[in-house]
Amino acid sequence: MHVKKNDIVIVIAGNSKGKEGKVLKVFPENNRVIVEGVNIVKRHTRPSQKNPQGGVVQKEAPVNSSNVMIKDPKSGEATRIGYSRTKDAVSGKKKVMRISQKSGEMF
């Protein structure tokens, strides 16, 4: 999956097209993500001990991960992600780094 938790993403399709937000949760088995402030739904809840008032609660619903792209840290536009294998100078271990396809910036 090209998106990880805490990534800043831009929605490229759907009702929330053009909005951006932080990824709060990732569901790789369903290929879905929850993005902060995107795809808000209203949930009618009955009173409980946790919420004694009950009523209508607004919360984010999952969005398909194919409808979001990562925001480029340099230009601020939506970008695809590439992967690069680098060798750590200190420990000598190989690492996989994510790279922006537009600017070449590492994540």
Q: Output the 3-class SS for 27-86.
A: ECCCCEEEECCCCEEEEEECCCCCCCCCEEEEEECCEEHHHEEEECCCCCCEECEEEEEE
Q: Which residues lie closer than 8 Å to 12 by C-beta, 6 or more apart?
A: 67, 68, 69, 78
- Report pLDDT for 67: 97
CB count in 10 Å sphere of residue 84: 11
Where residue 107 falls among pLDDT bands split at 50, 70, 90? confident
Q: Could you tell me which CATH number the domain at 1-71 has?
A: 2.30.30.30
For 11, the token pair is 């929605």
- High-pLDDT (> 70) share of the chain, %: 100
pLDDT digits (tens, 9 = 90+) for 2-48: 999 999 999 999 999 999 999 999 999 999 999 999 999 999 999 99
Predicted structure pTM score: 0.84
Cite the residue boundaries of each domain of the chain with CATH code 2.30.30.30. Answer: 1-71
